[in-house]
Chain A
């Protein structure tokens, strides 16, 4: 199983580097821009906080983007959330199905490993990729804070990164289950899922009737503006996330273990 895990990590290394460096560097550049925009921020913060549902959706009604905390939550929070969600979806959606899609399954599955072991190695690979992605981005953002020399509540920052990681795991779990269903490349579906979850969260914050169902979506408990304003702990959202993750992984193992493999 270790050989399969090692092979999967190597095969996905390029993806990890591209996505973590891109999202991390983009976040760093945004953080560094804060200093140059600091003077104009006050007027912008007033304008942004009075845009009704839009301000609500992006957290600008509760946080001022004139502070680094507010700027990070509203700007980088959105960039990291969407970027990390797309990365999680891309990594997980093809991790199983690629073997049949690229016809490498006959080689891999003729080796003395059960399907469960192969799936365990692939699931571990996804989890490790997400841990590394989160670490790289965290280092980029910390570098930005240190260059700026501005005060940043690190406890809230680490809470944000931890919840984003959980959100990434949940999205990856859902995509892993989808990947177990077919032997075809489903990259479009994975990216579509990521965008759908993001859109659901934004709409849920704009449309009052949707607000009470917000906890179903993976972005609900990872919202930067809520975390940085010390909003109520999103217990229901986190419980749904945990349940979805366990159910999706269990489904992937169950379904993949019983289905025929394409040649």
Chain B
């Protein structure tokens, strides 16, 4: 029986009077690639940011790798590789410095893994961050998220800005790490990614979560979640 890597129960988070997420509960098992779908503003990023401790939740419980997300915040982050939807770094730093900085803060020497990832993703480590396009910044973000070989990956719309070849390489890397025991939460708008790579999926709408019986849904069913919300 595989363990739950993510256990979220009755998570509620609001921003003053604005809705964030309401009573969200779901589990992600070890070795899963879990698709997290939903329209813009549905609450996907709020859920992810609550898991990472960026947001203070109103009620509910979040356990990651069996640890409490509030009490064991630092321990949890040691085992997570996070890639935000917009990859921003310090403009004046060189790519190699950013990658080393992320490893240094973790107290790890990740140079071998980082070099392997940079080679596969064709990352130019000599450039300064301010010289990079969004796609290239995303590649740096992938390296920072993967170089320490975490037990859990959290990707928030990771493929936006990446060219098709890089998207393919990115998913190859995820599959390799998952085959070695990692787990992945993939927040995305791209149904084909969920259909092709995910084992389980859930969809968020207006702050509430609905588990999908299968990640292999057709376009019409998928779009109906968006249309119903507009209606």
> B-contacting residues of A (Cβ < 8 Å)?
3-4, 7, 11, 102-107, 109-114, 258-261, 263
Q: Please indicate the chain B residues that have their CB under 8 angstroms from the CB of A104 in the complex.
A: 88-90
Over the window 66-110 of chain B, the binary record of Cβ atoms lying under 8 Å from chain A Cβ atoms (1 yes, 0 no) is 000000011101101010101111111000000001101110000
Q: Is the CB of A111 within 8 A of B88?
A: no
Q: Is the CB of B102 within 8 A of A102?
A: no
Going nearest first, the 9 A-B pairs with the smallest beta carbon separation are A103-B88, A112-B77, A106-B84, A110-B82, A112-B78, A3-B104, A111-B105, A261-B54, A3-B105
Interface size in chain B (residues, C-beta < 8 A)? 30
Cα(A230)–Cα(B80), bound, Å: 59
Contact of B105 among A4, A106, A259, A260 (CB under 8 A): A4
Total A-B contacts with CB atoms under 8 angstroms apart: 66
Whether B144 is near chain A, meaning CB under 8 Å from some CB there, is: yes
Contact of B102 among A111, A258, A260, A263 (CB under 8 A): A111
Q: Please indicate the chain A residues that have their CB under 8 angstroms from the CB of B73 in the complex.
A: 114
Q: Is the CB of A109 within 8 A of B89?
A: no
Whether B39 is near chain A, meaning CB under 8 Å from some CB there, is: no
Q: Is the CB of B52 within 8 A of A114?
A: no
Q: Is the CB of A110 within 8 A of B55?
A: no
Q: Please indicate the chain A residues that have their CB under 8 angstroms from the CB of B89 in the complex.
A: 104, 107
Distance to closest chain A CB from B170 (angstroms): 18
Whether B49 is near chain A, meaning CB under 8 Å from some CB there, is: yes
> Interface majority SS on A: helix, strand, loop or mixed?
loop
Contact of A110 among B84, B92, B101 (CB under 8 A): B84
Q: Is the CB of A103 within 8 A of B104?
A: no
Q: Is the CB of A111 within 8 A of B56?
A: no
Q: Is the CB of B56 within 8 A of A11?
A: no
Q: Please indicate the chain A residues that have their CB under 8 angstroms from the CB of B15 in the complex.
A: 260
Q: Please indicate the chain B residues that have their CB under 8 angstroms from the CB of A3 in the complex.
A: 101, 104-105
Distance to closest chain A CB from B38 (angstroms): 16
Distance to closest chain B CB from A48 (angstroms): 46
Cα(A263)–Cα(B87), bound, Å: 11
Q: Please indicate the chain B residues that have their CB under 8 angstroms from the CB of A258 in the complex.
A: 56
Beyond A106-B88, A112-B74, A258-B56, whether A263 also contacts B49 by CB under 8 A is yes
Whether B61 is near chain A, meaning CB under 8 Å from some CB there, is: no
Cα(A167)–Cα(B35), bound, Å: 54
Chain A minimum-CB-distance residue to B102: A111
Cα(A15)–Cα(B158), bound, Å: 35
Interface centre among A7, A103, A107, A114 (most CB of B within 10 A): A107
Whether B45 is near chain A, meaning CB under 8 Å from some CB there, is: yes
Contact of A263 among B84, B90, B104 (CB under 8 A): B84
Beyond A104-B88, A260-B56, whether A110 also contacts B105 by CB under 8 A is no
Interface centre among B56, B75, B88 (most CB of A within 10 A): B88
Contact of A109 among B53, B90, B106 (CB under 8 A): B53
Cα(A119)–Cα(B42), bound, Å: 32
Q: Is the CB of B56 within 8 A of A109?
A: no
Cα(A261)–Cα(B106), bound, Å: 21
Cα(A105)–Cα(B15), bound, Å: 19
Which residues 36-64 in B have Cβ within 8 Å of A in the complex? Answer: 45, 49, 52-56
Distance to closest chain A CB from B47 (angstroms): 13
Cα(A102)–Cα(B91), bound, Å: 9
Cα(A105)–Cα(B53), bound, Å: 12
Q: Is the CB of A114 within 8 A of B74?
A: yes
Over the window 188-204 of chain B, the binary record of Cβ atoms lying under 8 Å from chain A Cβ atoms (1 yes, 0 no) is 00000000000000000
Q: Is the CB of A7 within 8 A of B82?
A: no
Distance to closest chain A CB from B156 (angstroms): 9
Q: Is the CB of A261 within 8 A of B55?
A: yes
Q: Is the CB of B54 within 8 A of A106?
A: yes
Chain A minimum-CB-distance residue to B78: A112
Cα(A4)–Cα(B101), bound, Å: 8
Which residues 116-173 in B have Cβ within 8 Å of A in the complex? Answer: 141, 144
Q: Please indicate the chain B residues that have their CB under 8 angstroms from the CB of A7 in the complex.
A: 90, 101
Q: Is the CB of A112 within 8 A of B84?
A: no
Q: Please indicate the chain A residues that have their CB under 8 angstroms from the CB of B84 in the complex.
A: 106-107, 110, 263
Q: Is the CB of B56 within 8 A of A113?
A: no
Q: Please indicate the chain B residues that have their CB under 8 angstroms from the CB of A112 in the complex.
A: 74-75, 77-78, 105-106
Cα(A106)–Cα(B49), bound, Å: 9
Chain A minimum-CB-distance residue to B83: A110
Cα(A174)–Cα(B90), bound, Å: 26
Cα(A109)–Cα(B92), bound, Å: 19
Chain B minimum-CB-distance residue to A259: B56
Chain A minimum-CB-distance residue to B55: A260
Chain A minimum-CB-distance residue to B84: A106
Distance to closest chain B CB from A154 (angstroms): 40
